[in-house]
Chains A and B, each alone.
Chain A
Amino acid sequence: MVNVLVVDDDPDIRELVAFKLTQMGHTVTTENDGEGGLAAAIQEKPDLILLDVMMPKLTGIEVCQRLRDDPKTSGVPVILITAKAQEVDVERGFAAGADDYIVKPFSPRELASRVEAVLGR
C-alpha cells in the first residue's frame, strides 16, 4: 500500500491519474497547485509524488527543487507530468531532481509502468 500525492491544476488529468493509481491499489491524495502540493508533501509524507510541470504560481520544477532542498522530503521519488513538445522542461526537471516523467496526453498504461518502475527502484 503506497501513498501517492498527485499535484495538477487540470481537474481532468488529476482525476484520471488518481483513478488509475487507485485501481493499482494505492491511496491517493490530490492538490491543485504547487503551493498546496508542497504543503501536502511536507505534512503527509507520501511515498511518491506526481507533479504537473505547467502550473500557475509555482511550477512543478520549482516544487521539485524545493522538495529536494528540504531534508524532510528530499528522498521522495518524483514523476513529472509534462505536455508534448516541452522537452526543455524534461531536462530541467531531471536537473531539479525528478526521477522520471510522463507525457500528456495521458496514457494509463504508461503511467502504470512508470509508477511501478520508480517504486521498484
Chain B
Amino acid sequence: MTAGGILVAALLTMAVILLGLTFAAMVRRTSRDLLASLRNKREARIRPMLLSVVTDDEPDLSFLRTFSKKDLRIVESLIWGLLSKVRGSSKQVLVKWLVESGAIGRVCEQTKSRSRVKRARSVELLGSSGIAETASFVADCLHDSDKEVRSVAARALGKFSEKEAVVHLLSALTGPKAIPRSIISMSLLHVGPQAIEPLMDGLLNRSALVRSVCVDMLGIYGAVKATDRLIGCLQLDPSMKVRVSAAGALGRLGSPKGVEPLVRCITVNAPRKLRVAAVASIGQIGGKQAISWLNSAMLDVDSVVSAAAVEALSKMGDEGCIILTELSTMDLPQSLIANQWLSRREINLSSRKRSSREMAGA
C-alpha cells in the first residue's frame, strides 16, 4: 500500500468515525425523546389512578389485574417509587401487590445477579420496601465482592428497623470487606430505639472501631441508661479513639453524673482531642460544677482547649457571661476570644428576640 493510499484510508476512517458518532448521538436523542414521551403518556394515565387508590381508607389494588403487561411494568416502577413515601395501610397494600405479582421474588433473585449495578439497585429497592422477609437478602450483600454494593446494602439494612440488623452492621465495620463508618452509623440511626440494647452489647467488642461507633450512636440516640457504661468507657477503654467518642457522647446525653469523670480528663497529660471533647461536653451538660471547672479550663495552657472552654462558657447563660466579661478585661490571649464569643452571644440573643417580637406582633 502506498503512502498516499494509507493517507486516503486514514482520511476515510476518520470521516466514517465522525459520521458514526454524530449519527449515534442523533439516534440516541431521537429514541430517548420518543421513548420518554411514550412512557410519559402511559404514566400520566396510570399515575392518578394509582395514587388516588393508595390514599383511600381501604385501598384495594385489585383493579390492576385488568392492566396490560406494559402498563403493569409502569405500575411496578411507580409502586417501588412510592414505597418509601407512604406508611400504614397504604404501604401494606403496595407491599402485598409486589409480593403477589412476584416482583419481590424477582428483586430478591437479582441480589445475586452477576451485574453489580443490578445487585446494587435491587438491594436499594428491598431497603425501601422494608419487608422483613427480604432482610436476609440485604444482609447477605453486606459481604458482596463489590464495594458499592456493600455500601448500598449497609444503607438499606438500617431501614428494616430490626434489632438483628445492628449486629450485622457492626460486624461490617471491620475486616477486608469493611464498610465506611459514616455509612454504618447512618444506617444504625435508621434502625430506631431498638438498636440501643445491641449497641450496648457492642461496647464489649474486641475492635476499637466498633466500640467507638457504638459509643457515638448511643450518644446520638440519647440513651441515658447507658450513661454509666459510657463513663466506664471514658475512664477505662484502652483506645483513645473510644475515649474521645465517650467524652462527646456524655455531652449529648447531658447527665450531670458525667461532669466529674469528664473533669478528670482535663489533666495536662491527656491528649488535646480528649480534653477539647471533654470541655465541650461539660459545657453541654451545664450546672454549677461545670461552670466552675470551665472557669479553670479557660486558662489552660493549650490555646485550643482554652478557646473551647470560652466557647462553652458563652453558651451557659448569664453566669458564664459574667466570667467571660471578667476575662475579656484581662490582658490575656484568651481575652480577645472571650470578647468575640460575648459579641456572638449578644447577636444571637438579639436576633431571637426580634423574631419572637415579630411573631407576637403578627
Chain A in direct contact with chain B (Cβ < 8 angstroms): yes
Q: Are B362 and A16 in contact (CB under 8 A)?
A: no
Residue of B55, B84, B91, B359 near A19 (CB, 8 A) is: B55
A40 CB-CB contact with B under 8 Å: no
B355 CB-CB contact with A under 8 Å: yes
Residue of B55, B56, B84, B358 near A105 (CB, 8 A) is: B84
Residue of A12, A68, A85, A105 near B91 (CB, 8 A) is: A105
Residue of A23, A69, A71, A106 near B85 (CB, 8 A) is: A106
Instruction: Tell me which of A97, A106, A109 has the highest count of chain B C-beta atoms within 10 A of its own C-beta.
Output: A106
User: Which residue of chain A is the closest to B47 with respect to CB atoms?
Assistant: A15
Chain A nearest CB: distance from B233 CB in Å?
Answer: 25
Assuming the contacts A16-B86, A97-B359, asked whether A109 and B57 have C-beta atoms less than 8 A apart, the reply is yes
Q: When chains A and B are docked, how far (Å) is the Cα of A54 from the Cα of B10?
A: 57
Q: Are A19 and B51 in contact (CB under 8 A)?
A: yes
Chain A nearest CB: distance from B356 CB in Å?
Answer: 8
Residues of A in contact with B, size category = 20 to 34
B208 CB-CB contact with A under 8 Å: no
Number of interface residues of B (CB under 8 A): 24
Q: Are B87 and A71 in contact (CB under 8 A)?
A: no
Mark interface residues in B72-114 (1 if CB within 8 Å of A CB, else 0): 0000000001101111111100000000000000000000000
Which B residues touch A104, using CB under 8 A?
85
Q: Are A23 and B87 in contact (CB under 8 A)?
A: no
Which B residues touch A29, using CB under 8 A?
none
Which A residues touch B82, using CB under 8 A?
12, 16
Which B residues touch A68, using CB under 8 A?
358-359, 362
Q: Are B88 and A65 in contact (CB under 8 A)?
A: no
Task: Pull 25 A–B residue pairs with CB atoms less than 8 Å apart, ordered by A.
Answer: A12-B51, A12-B81, A15-B47, A16-B54, A16-B82, A16-B85, A16-B86, A19-B48, A23-B52, A65-B358, A68-B359, A68-B362, A69-B359, A69-B362, A104-B85, A105-B84, A105-B86, A106-B87, A107-B87, A107-B88, A108-B56, A108-B88, A108-B89, A109-B57, A112-B57
**Nearest 4 A/B pairs, CB to CB:** A105-B87, A20-B55, A107-B88, A108-B55
